Chains A and B, each alone.
Chain A
Amino acid sequence: DKKDSGSASDPDAPKKDVKVALILEGSIADMSWNATAYEGLKRIEGLGATIGHTENTPVASAADAIRAFASDGYDVIFMSSNSFQDVAVETAKEFPDVQFFLINSAATESNIRSFAIQDAEQGFLMGALAALLSVNNKVGFIGGLPINPIINGGKGFEQGAKYVNPDIEIMSQNTGNFDDAVAAKELAKQFVSEGVDVLCPMANQASLGVMEAAEETGVLAIGSGRNQETVAPNAAVVAIIKDTSIAYEAAYKSYLEGKMPEEILPMGAAQGVIYIGEYYKDDISQDIKDKLNDIQQKLAAGEIKIKLD
């Protein structure tokens, strides 16, 4: 019976009760990728859909998750990681009238649409701002598990920093996981001892470690998601936010309107998915802010192209 799936949609919702599911590879508490994805699902709920999700779903279970949702009458299924692509393409065949959205995937079968989050643009903005802020011309990027978004973020970061200052020194490393905040913090400290004076984490919840390191060593830090600043009241400058929730909402809207473009939907600065959050420090010169906004516009307008390999 479906009663227990506690339908949160209010009775006088606009359309027929659409059921939307989200399958997450990570934890919704990761303060970034999965967290914003979950926010997206919430937004969709706000549009009157009934929602359901699974977290920490390993690739090996993705197929079961899809089958479970589909057989429970879900109409739309979002898959939040490129790891799921193969499984999704396989399993989607079993459910032709379920609409699938794959994040960071290249697949576009009949009932599958994919959109590509422009992680590199987030990195680019972080790099650019870091370069603008850096006094000793040395900036650091700390990634977590070297998966696609992180790697591209790193590439974007380097190009962004070089974009504003061709001869800036860049330190970039991955801690190898998203859980170990201590590792992130220690690595960050090492960076600082190497002269880095602006730190940029892209390691989900482990990012907090980097922010804290910045706070303790008195350098600046640029967040990669909301809620990271609290542990670094003095160090946190701003967060360059990759708000996939907007992407999800957009995708869902296009589904409701029944006009979903064949090609892979890019989701970046242009779509407002990647943007500059509100500044936490007021001593940031307007000049810098303008430069950064300008870069963001260029990215949105496609005037800046980021090379990914």
Chain B
Amino acid sequence: MNEVVSFFSTTLRLATPTLLAALGIVFSERAGVVNIGTEGMMLVGALSGVIGSYVTGNVWLGTLIAIVVTVLFAAIFGFFTVVVKADQTVIGTGMNLLASGLTITVNRALFGASTSPPEIDKFVIAPIPGLSKIPVIGPIFFNHHILVYLAFLLVPIAHFVMFRTNVGLKVRSVGENPKACDTVGIRVGMTRFLSILYSGILAGIAGSFVSMGMLSFFTEGMIAGGGFIALAAVVFGNYTPRGVMFSSLVFGASNALMYRLQALATNVPSQFPLMIPYVITIVSLCIVSRRSNKPLGSGKPYIKE
């Protein structure tokens, strides 16, 4: 029984950073921006969160600082891709490199190279009074960090914004056909820039959840591919918030399963359990693949005559 419980609650926990980041990317992707740089943004968020929490002694202020810093970082990405109209993928790759270099440099400058990580205020499990007491359901759904609840609450909101509001329509259209948007008076560049900043906000939160929720410290390169997984989650989720939630959960579950198997089958070479999440993703992708919502203008800068 509590096997099941721990499996599902682990799933939710592991799905959260992917979901947070992906909920940001889904908007920038819809706006026609391919953000390979998410990995770097999360890394920046992870470090700045820890620094913030260390300085202010408050994990929430830390997260706030993480958001601000990551948004600034995202603004660089926006500047190069939207204003300068440079190639998004190259810039994204560059941003990842920049992030790994900067985080290492700053982290060592502040806390030294090989010393113990600083004591920081971290997110604590926040059981929802009452609900968390319900057997099975409670521990699975209502016994998590606040950011876990937040991430999942954000899904319907994001869905509403994307498909019911004027802003959402603009974002979706700018990615499909920027020229058409231009002809109806939409500021294509502005729209894209803002959605990049927005994805920065969420990447920042996602990063600080990794460094202050799932862990309580920063180590070099700790995102370890999480950004790319989030990117995959968006494509896998077919560019909708709901879909993104689904795919994040698939990733979460297959990772939970992987750890489970690693623990159970300690005699099997570790590499095989480690492959499971990726295999599962490919397989389920082949099963569920349908008409893609990939924006037509995706990845292309909009250049006027």
Interface size on A, residues (CB 8 A): 41
Q: Are A186 and B259 in contact (CB under 8 A)?
A: yes
Q: Which residues of B contact A176 (CB under 8 A)?
A: 270-271, 274
- In whole angstroms, how far apart are the Cα atoms of A206 and B256 in the complex? 18
Chain A residues with Cβ below 8 Å from B10 are 186, 189
Q: Which residue of A lies closest to B214 (CB)?
A: A182
- Is the CB of A28 closer than 8 A to any CB of chain B? yes
Selecting from A80-88, A223-231, A256-264, the interface stretch reads: A223-231
Question: Given known contacts A28-B113, A227-B116, is B222 in contact with A180 (CB within 8 Å)?
Answer: yes
* A31: B residues at CB distance < 8 A: 114, 116
Contact A206:B219 (CB < 8 A) given known A29-B104, A38-B113, A182-B214: yes
Would you give the 0/1 interface string for A199-226, flagging 1 where the beta carbon is closer than 8 Å to chain B? 0000001101100100000000000001
* Residue from A174, A186, A206 within 8 A of B270 (CB atoms): A174
| CB neighbors of A among B1-48 (8 A) | 3, 6, 10, 14
Measured CA separation A29–B113 after assembly (Å): 5
Q: Knowing A186-B10, A194-B263, A209-B215, say if A35 contacts B222 (CB, 8 Å).
A: no
Query: Is B191 an interface position by the 8 A CB rule?
Result: no
- List A contacts of B215 (CB < 8 A): 181-182, 185, 208-209, 212
Interface membership of B108, Cβ < 8 A: yes
B112 to chain A, nearest CB (A): 8
CB distance from A91 to the nearest CB of B (A): 27
A187 to B256 Cα, complex, angstroms = 9
In Å, the complex CA distance between A172 and B251 comes to 24
Picked from A174, A177, A230, the residue with its CB within 8 Å of the CB of B117 is A230
Does A173 touch B at the CB level, under 8 Å?
Answer: yes
Q: Which residue of A lies closest to B271 (CB)?
A: A176
A27 sits at the interface (CB 8 A): yes
What 0/1 pattern do residues 251 to 283 of B give for CB contact below 8 A with A?
000011001101110100011001000000000
With contact pairs A205-B219, A208-B219 given, residues A190 and B263 touching in the complex (Cβ less than 8 Å): yes
In chain A, what residue has the closest Cβ to B6? A193
A191 within 8 A of B: yes
B119 in the interface, Cβ–Cβ < 8 Å? Answer: yes
Contacts of A38 in B (CB 8 A): 113-114
Give chain B nearest CB distance to A248 CB in angstroms. 14
Nearest-CB residue, chain B, relative to A205: B219
- Whether A183 sits at the interface, judged by CB under 8 Å, is yes
Q: Is the Cβ of A29 less than 8 Å from the Cβ of B222? A: no
Which of B108, B219, B270 has the most CB atoms of chain A within a 10 A radius of its CB? B219
Q: B262 contacts which chain A residues (CB < 8 A)? A: 173, 187, 190
**Considering the chains assembled together, what is the distance between the CA atoms of A231 and B118 in angstroms?**
9
What residues on A are CB-neighbors of B116 within 8 Å?
Answer: 31, 226-231
Does the CB pair B114–A35 fall under 8 Å? yes
Set of chain A residues within 8 Å of B219, measured between Cβ atoms: 29, 179, 181, 205-206, 208
Q: B263–A187 contact, CB under 8 A?
A: yes
The yes or no answer to A17 lying at the interface (CB within 8 A) is: no
Q: What's the Cα separation between A213 and B242 when bound, in Å? A: 32
Knowing A29-B219, A182-B210 touch, does A172 contact B266 (C-beta < 8 A)? yes
Give A170's nearest chain B residue, CB to CB: B266
Cα separation A79 to B262 with both chains bound (whole Å): 33
> Does the CB pair B114–A173 fall under 8 Å?
no
- Given A181-B222, A185-B214, A212-B215, are A191 and B114 also a contact pair (CB < 8 Å)? no
Chain B residue with the shortest CB-CB distance to A209: B215
Which partner residue on chain A sits nearest B111 by CB separation?
A: A29
A interface residues with partner B (beta carbon < 8 Å) = 27-31, 35, 38-39, 146, 170-177, 179-183, 185-187, 189-191, 193-194, 205-206, 208-209, 212, 226-231
- The 3 A-B residue pairs whose C-beta atoms are closest, nearest first, are A227-B116, A190-B263, A35-B114
* A-B contact list, 5 entries, CB within 8 Å: A171-B266, A187-B262, A189-B259, A226-B116, A231-B216
* Further 10 A-B residue pairs, CB within 8 A, beyond A30-B114, A175-B270, A181-B222: A29-B104, A179-B220, A181-B215, A186-B10, A186-B259, A190-B263, A205-B220, A209-B215, A212-B217, A231-B216
